[in-house]
Structure 1
């Protein structure tokens, strides 16, 4: 039986569920209080220019679908704003204990954490809602005949993307990845994009692998590698590419992915490391844009993000894409793009140049008058020929 291995993009590399949970806290941090975590995350929000963006949008009215492990919806930062969707694939990460909700809760807090009281962690889109779509992140999922990796008709991720697109999601955040494309997933991505859903995915944590060091590029991870998906790399506090962050042409933009404070089940805080966190932060920025411009298509959202991202000397870099996302500038650019896209109506008496307005161009094909005359002539000829045949027939009969 074929097996396709899904990986969390939190920290590189991991093997099995136990390793995943240990690797999530690869950057240990002492538990912080609500006030302390707000100070600890200040550099993250400043790197994204989030406070400038909040003057315009805080994500109200937007739903971000989180394809991840289950989410603890009772933590103070998320209470009342998480909707639990169906379990997709294995139910390992849908169980009720804190282990099964660790990764999803952390990513949800980065997207839509709303703080608590005078402190607590703030997500990039603190007024957005989260649609939790639990899916196994680090398991060997069996692939049946209907799930063939090359021509398959279905996969857990494809089901998640389609469910999100059909159930009100404006943005889909995917902090996971697998090697090799899947036909059903490509089709699901196209379907979601056609419905105006923005797709964001982690580029992966293979930057320190042997292949990456030898070839100066990383294996592609999917869904980040699908066309139309915003692939996200990770940077540190100084804006430098994180050593573990995968580098290839699937990386469109970057965001903080080292020492990023998150909320864990039960309300505890810890620091995370990985392109998972970077992708969740960018999904939050996309939510801000969609809240301000609900009708903005996914490609235009991507353009707003890339055209305002932090400067890259060469214009593009495989590790950080077009640069670190700037939420404030991206929102401003989104407004400019939408204004330019609106159709401008011009009064009938206002035209470029003088003189009378040019009429409509002639319709393609023959001249209508000539065609009409030809038709009449043809009809008369047929009538005359028929009359002559009738007359001759009668004369012949009379003789």
Structure 2
């Protein structure tokens, strides 16, 4: 098994290896993941119907049984020309399966099994394909990148949750603006914090490099825990981590319908995106910042200090987050204010003078103009008569 990482300034994914397993095995193997997230309790309220989760990743195979009939495939965002046919990818398919796997015929169940998937290819599984990515090839909007194109496309297509199991060390302006665009339209953004927790730099400095888009404000950054709820050694530790989810030996589906286990903050991200989909299914108008509050305020395994940079505020609890989201959704955005109220005990200030000219001053000004004209006319008449008399005398 390999893990999501970030290399240079380009977005990076994991190359996942599928191991042989049967449908019965995958159901049993994934039970600990559902238990860790308290997902089955949340399904008593909602299973994610009516919500589309955009998977910004490598392409998703829509033919696997668990995803059949519920995947829409977008154009390949690696080029602004959109002329490359999307290809199925192991990473994207695996992420989509843990988000919205239907469990058909005893197969794998995602956290939001009734949700739909919008596959938005922004990168390929094969690292060699990074050379083909055109962040700005001169034909699209200046400063575009595959990620920014994918974010805007997914938002415009009606996705309510966007899952980004990818990351890069660099912070691009185009990506930052696209994140703001999605958040302003009520889309919940979830991204991987990265797998640099066991890097040489992290061991020497006690913290990991930030990766983006997880590091952007408003994005829910996700760390990884094991079966015991402990932080995995590879999970990046920095202040972009908001919550955590299982990320070690998590069963998933690969192209063609094979099963295997994966590890990394990539799969942790997909699981949290599934929980966000449950919340948006039940409370579709809940703002992204309130979804984040529902997730962070109801976690399991909270750190002793209430927060640390390995697991954030703790491991997501889907059922508790749904319950908290219901209370947050009941809050009124504003309160009515009576017109006759004012601060202090004094008398109410008089109403403001309506805009426009003062009538008295207009009359004075008009009268002055009329008198001036009369005086000017009289002067002209006197001078004219005087001139006539002088001419007649000569």
TM class by shorter chain equals 0.7 to 0.9
Judged with a 3 Å threshold, the aligned counterparts in structure 2 of structure 1 residues 186 and 14 are, in CA distance, closer, same or farther, namely closer
Indicate which of 304, 310, 313 corresponds to 1:313.
304
User: Structure 1's 92 and 85: CA in aligned 2 closer, same or farther, altered over 3 A?
Assistant: closer
- The counterpart of 1:126, out of the listed 110, 113, 122, is 113
Tell me the distance in 1 between the aligned counterparts of 2:264 and 2:205.
21
- Greater strand proportion: 1
5+ unaligned residues in a row in structure 1: which ranges? 1-7
Residues 96-143 of structure 1 show CA distances to partners (whole Å, capped at 9, x for unaligned) of: xxxx521111100110011023x2211111111001112324343367
Q: Closer, same or farther in 2 for the Cα pair 1:195/1:392, shift >3 Å? A: same
| 2:316 aligned residue | 325
- Equivalent position to 2:265, from 252, 275, 282: 275
Q: Partner residue of 2:54?
A: 65
Pair 309,251 (structure 1): closer, same or farther in 2 beyond 3 Å: same
User: Aligned to 2:161, which of 160, 171, 186?
Assistant: 171
Q: Considering only aligned residues, what root-mean-square deviation do their CA atoms show, in Å?
A: 3.3
SS in 2 for 1:261: strand
Q: Are 1:70 and 1:93, in contact at CA under 8 Å, matched by a contact in 2?
A: no
How far did residue 64 of structure 1 move?
Answer: 0.7
- Deviation string 1:238-258 (CA, Å, 9 cap, x unpaired) is 211111001111111111111
Structure 1 stretches (4+) deviating beyond 4 angstroms?
11-15, 90-93, 142-145, 342-346, 358-361, 366-370
Q: Name the CA shift for 1:143/1:360 in 2 (closer, same or farther; >3 Å).
A: farther
Relative to structure 1, the CA distance from residue 307 to residue 372 in structure 2 (aligned partners, 3 Å threshold; closer, same or farther) is farther
The counterpart of 1:101, out of the listed 80, 86, 89, is: 89
How many residue pairs are counted as aligned between the two chains? Answer: 370
Q: Where in structure 2 are the equivalents of 1:153-302 lying within 5 Å? A: 153-302=143-292
Flag the 1:321–1:390 CA change in 2: closer, same or farther, 3 A. farther
Cα 1:130–1:372 change in 2 (3 A) is same
How does the TM-score come out when normalised to structure 2? 0.84
SS in 1 for 2:76: coil
| Partner residue in 1 for 2:389 | none
> Which secondary structure state, in structure 2, belongs to the residue aligned with residue 64 of structure 1?
strand
Show structure 2 runs of 5+ residues with no match: 387-394
Write out per-residue CA displacement over residues 274-301 of structure 1, whole angstroms, 9 at most, x where no aligned residue.
0000000111111111111222222221
* Secondary structure at 2:369 match in 1: helix
Alpha-carbon offset, residue 47 of structure 1: 1.4
1:153 and 1:13 mapped to 2: Cα distance? 21
Deviation string for 1:19-77 (max 9, x for gaps)? 943xx34xx86x33323322221111111111222122211111111111111212111
Q: Any conservation in 2 of the 1:9–1:204 contact (CA below 8 Å)?
A: no
CA distance in 2, matches of 1:394, 1:240: 107
Structure exhibiting the larger radius of gyration computed from Cα positions: 2
Which of 3, 7, 27 is the equivalent residue of 1:10?
3
